[in-house]
Structure 1
Amino acid sequence: MAPDEPSIRILQCFCQSLRVPFWHDRGMDEFDEDLIRALQLDGRAQFSALAAELGVHRTLVAQRVRELLDSGEIRIHAAVHPSAVGLPIQANLQLRISGPTSPVFERLSTFTNVVFLSEISGQNQAVVEVWAADREDVARSVRAIQAIEGVEEMQFSLYDRVLRRLRLGEDPELTDLVFDDFDIALIAELQLDGRLTFGELARRTGCSASACRARVMRLLGSGVMRIGAVRSRRSTTSSVLSGVGVVLHADPEQAAAAEEVLLGIPTIEFAARTLGRYGLIATIAARSLADYTDIVRRIRSHPGVYRVETWVHAFVWLERYEWSLDRLARSRTV
């Protein structure tokens, strides 16, 4: 949702009086992409820090963040790493669907262990990411998805190692971590609103603000929890969310070099080594169609890459990282 014209004029005059850049001068799409990217990395970042990073006034950042939240373009929530809640197995499924697609997507949306669901372009019509407790859990999900009327074929890839996950960061060290009731209460609140103040968390949990701050910082520092923006990806935008499946050459040195090139692309939101059809799967959030084309060309041209298959996420039906309090409570001791 864009600001209305009177608001734009008022903010522009305000910026001119302070002699600071105005986001409308640099382009709305560009400003929003930079702001959302910063919030994806740190959903609790202070407006002053975001303003300094983006080179604009704090007031502009505060207003635009409120507008993005109010419009539903972004949500800011705590995400808990799947391994921390007993879901260490993750798989990527691509489905070929015959007939109407909406009933299939509506059915898939009811699966509790589906965390990402997207309607895509190309020979396949859906990308589904499943998190599971073990391989048998994955097998049950796969059989249930295959049984949905309209699902004709399935392409399966198991994540061997996640190399980058924008919403969840690096894989945490989980050996000594224990969740207690206080952790669970804080995570549950932050899954509803990741920007709750420590004072508000104190009011909701019945603990002091300093205790809430210390425990939240512990959870963030451990890598078990991360707070960031999730985009609705349903509004009209110039950005292009796409996926790539990379088949690598057998030479391990060339394959490793290709992986480094992939991770060197700043707009790669997700990348994983996989077992299945591809050696690597990645998600690219390109600024434009031209940017997307340039990135794919760069990947294809690497000598370690044998073949690249691409798809565009035309409509993201589901992207969730929130888990119920019961799920967290069952996973206190990791």
Structure 2
Amino acid sequence: MVDSLDAELLHALQLDGRAPFSRIAEVLEVSEQTVARRYRRLRSAGVLRVVGGVDGTRLGYTSWTLRIHTTPDASAAVGAALAERTDTFFVHLLSGGTEISCFTQTPLDHAPLLDKLPRTSKVLAVSAHSLLHGFTIPGEWAGLAALAPEKADRLRYAPEPADGTATPDDQGLLAALAVDGRASHTQLATATGWSESTVRRRLENLRRSGALRIQLEFDPKALGYKAQARLWLTVRPSGLVDVARTLATHPEVSFAGVTTGATNLMAEVSCTDDAHFYRYLTERVARLDAVQTLETAPVLRTLKRIGTV
């Protein structure tokens, strides 16, 4: 479990994953050495990691949410293979261990993963739904909000926007950031073969344009959230946006997005235990009158989050 200072550090990194330890220390009112030591401990324990990810919409990609049913003996192997791919994220084993849920980003005219999965003998069924709009993302999860608003405002990354997108020349930079979003300019220069000034300029341009997102990857269980689940909801069209916006404000919800398919809204939920999950479903979701159907699937194991495995 993390203590109150750890929680504040997590929130600080959520607001700006590349914020210097000196600035975080100033806001948290502790020494820079304390912040660095805490960060290294949490990272080595697998509680957190800062990673860089590309916003696929800037490249004309379509985001998909996949539900994959496998034979009982194959889910772990299929899930591990999915996790190793560069085009997948948030790969979960669900329910009784025969279902996998994940996201993928693909070019509009080419979806190799969607083409390959149905031909895999151990895969019994695949449903793929296009993610039309996200109302919150894991990097903005309200459950991490441990800092007072005035302190959060001092750390939030909010630069002047700029035009631009990722190019093939950026692959080395993006690959290094997918492993460690806090890699120094010197380390990134070594990985790319660029000068440090070029790395600094290109990194900042990608961030300002929104093409690159520096995100905090964290383990909810280490933060005390033992019950995690995927929710699929059918919502009356006239109430869809209102329900999505409401879910996005719930501290239990780390992601909510409108999708195509038989259900039109999905969410990722983290609760402290099954009793908390029950109360959330029956006392909060149940009160949303526009929700017509609800399907839930507990997350048994997370094989991949945002960055590389």
Report the TM-score range of the alignment, normalised by the length of the smaller protein.
Answer: 0.7 to 0.9
Matched, 1:258 2:230: no
Matching residue within 114, 124, 131 for 1:159:
131
Counterpart residue number, 2:148: none
Matching residue within 196, 207, 218 for 1:231:
218
Residue ranges of structure 1 left out of the alignment (5+ in a row): 1-26, 323-334
Matched, 1:129 2:103: yes
Counterpart residue number, 1:301: 287
Q: Say what the alpha-carbon RMSD is for the aligned residues.
A: 3.5
Distance 1:142 1:243 in 2: 21
Distance 1:181 1:132 in 2: 16
> One-letter code of the match for 2:268?
T
Distance 1:56 1:239 in 2: 30
Distance 1:288 1:37, change over 3 A: farther
Q: Percent identity?
A: 23
Distance 1:205 1:152 in 2: 42
Moved more, 279-288 or 241-250: 279-288
How far has the Cα of 1:131 moved from its partner?
1.6
Distance 1:307 1:206 in 2: 53
Matched, 1:218 2:191: no
Distance 1:68 1:209 in 2: 28
Distance 1:164 1:143 in 2: 29
> Structure with the greater relative contact order (CA < 8 A, sep ≥ 6): 1 or 2?
2
Distance 2:131 2:19 in 1: 31
Matching residue within 102, 110, 114 for 2:76:
102
Counterparts in 2 of 1:265-304, with a 5 A limit?
A: 265-296=250-281, 297-304=283-290
Contact 2:89 2:104 in 1 (8 A): yes
Distance 1:143 1:206 in 2: 35
Distance 2:247 2:110 in 1: 31
Q: TM-score w.r.t. structure 2 length?
A: 0.75
Distance 2:277 2:231 in 1: 11
Matching residue within 91, 113, 136 for 1:141:
113
Contact 1:241 1:313 in 2 (8 A): yes
Counterpart residue number, 1:247: 234
Q: Secondary structure at the match of 2:110?
A: helix
Distance 1:159 1:301 in 2: 25
How far has the Cα of 1:168 moved from its partner?
9.1
Distance 1:91 1:179, change over 3 A: closer
For residues 81-136 of structure 1, the C-alpha deviation after alignment (integer angstroms, 9 at most, x for no partner) is 113345x11211222333213233234345443333210126962112222112x5
How far has the Cα of 1:214 moved from its partner?
3.8
> One-letter code of the match for 2:184?
T
Q: TM-score w.r.t. structure 1 length?
A: 0.71
Residue ranges of structure 2 left out of the alignment (5+ in a row): 142-160
Larger radius of gyration: 1
Contact 2:220 2:270 in 1 (8 A): no
Distance 1:184 1:163, change over 3 A: same
For residues 126-156 of structure 1, the C-alpha deviation after alignment (integer angstroms, 9 at most, x for no partner) is 112222112x534x53342233233223333
Distance 1:300 1:57, change over 3 A: farther
Matched, 1:117 2:91: yes
Moved more, 226-235 or 93-102: 226-235
Distance 2:284 2:26 in 1: 32
Distance 2:221 2:27 in 1: 26
Moved more, 66-75 or 42-51: 42-51
